[in-house]
Amino acid sequence: MTEMDIQLTVNGKPAQVRAEPTQTLLSVLRDKLGLTGTKDGCSSGDCGACVVLLDERPVNACMVLAPQAEGAEVVTIEGLAKEGELHPLQRAFGETWAFQCGFCTPGMLVSCYALLRSNNNPSREEILIAIAGNFCRCTGYQAVVKAVEQAAAELRTANGGSEIRHD
């Protein structure tokens, strides 16, 4: 066995797991840490169901090996709500019906969350680019765009109306 000790931070909390080097971050999250919110849709980086934030950037967790996340900060769907309070995006997704079966939703939400963290006034085009790696078969993408716009407006108001834009 070539198991390794991996230390990382997940949703703000330190985590330590033992994993094979070829085990994916997705598997670590789901099978070792019990965070089953992030889904496996294809195991090949094609669908975005497994998108999580790795050091603030959205990535396909199925395409990151466990040791590649050593020392990293990971944010999953389970980390968006703070103390039981839903993030405006999560609420907006519900209100605009931006999902139906919900399987793509965790990855989709994280991609949108990442966008809003660096750009709280995204254009429709920018939103579509942000979710261009997230596949939804049930609902299409229009309602997602609406949800992001709605959440962005709410965040801008909370931010005193100022825009945040950075790479």
Partner 1 sequence: MTEAMVVGQWTSMPEVHDIVTGKARYCPDIQLPGMLTGKLLYSPHARARIMRLDVKKARKLPGVFAVLTHGDIRGENSYLYAHPDQPLLAIDEVRFQGDAVAAVAAQDEQTADAALQAIEVEYELMPGIFDPLEAMQPGADQVVQGEDNVIMAKTYRTGDVEAALSCADVIIENTYRTQWAEHAFLETEGGVGLVDDDGVITVYSTCQAPHRDRMQIARALAIPESSVRVITPYIGGAFGGKDEAHVQIHVGLLAHAAQRPVRLIRGRKESMLTHVKRHPIIVECTTAATKDGRLLAVKARAIADAGPYTNSTHEVLNKFGEFIGGPYKVENLEVEKIGVRTNNPITGAFRGFGAPQAAFVYESQMDDLARKLGMDPLEIRLRNGVETGTKMYTGVVVREGTAMKATLRKAAEMIGWEKRDQGERRPDRHLRRGWGMATILKGSGLGRGLSDHAGVVLEMHRDGSVVLQSGAADMGQGIVTVMAQLAAERLGVGLSSVRVIRADTARSPDAGASCASRQTIMSGNAVLKAADSIRDTLLSLAAGKTKISKDRLDLKGGRLHVDGEPHEISVRDLAQGAGNRGYPLHAESLYHFEYPTDVPEVSYRYSQEVFQFCTQVAQVLVDCETGQVTVERLVAVHDAGKMINPGGVYGQIEGGCAQGIGYALTEELILKEGHTQNASLENYVIPMALDLPELEIEVLEIPEPIAAPLGAKGIAESPIIPTAPAIRNAILDAIDKPLYELPMTAERVLS
Partner 2 sequence: MNRTEYTAPATLEDASHIKKQRGAEARVIAGGTDLILRMRENVLSPALLIDLRRIAMDSITLTTDEMRLGAFVTQSQILASADIARLFPALCEACRGFAGPPIRNRGTVGGNIVNASPAADLAPPLMAYDASIVLTSVAGDRVLPLVEFFTGPGQTLMEPDEILSEIRLPLMPEGTAATFIKLGQRRSMAIALVNLTTRLTLDGTGAVSDARIVLGAVAPTPIRALAAEGMLTGKLLSDELFERAASMARKAISPISDVRASMAYREQMTEVLVRRALLATRDELERNQSGD
Residues near partner 2 (CB under 8 A): 2, 4, 20-22, 24, 43-46, 48, 51, 54, 57-60, 63-65, 67-68, 70, 111, 114, 129-130, 132-135, 167
Query: Is the CB of residue 10 less than 8 Å from the CB of residue 76?
Result: yes
Nearer to partner 1, 8 or 87 (CB): 87
Question: Which of 97, 99, 102, 131 shows the shortest CA–CA distance to 114?
Answer: 131
Burial level of 153, CB count in 10 A (0-12/13-18/19+)? middle
What, of partner 2, partner 1, none, does residue 155 touch, CB below 5 to 8 Å by kind? none
Q: Which residues contact 6 (CB under 8 A, 6 or more apart)?
A: 16, 17, 18, 19, 28, 66, 67, 69, 70
Nearer to partner 2, 57 or 82 (CB): 57
What, of partner 2, partner 1, none, does residue 162 touch, CB below 5 to 8 Å by kind? none
Q: Which residues contribute to the site for partner 1 (CB under 8 A)?
A: 30, 34-44, 46-47, 49, 76-78, 80-81, 86, 90-91, 93-97, 99-106, 109, 128-129, 131-144
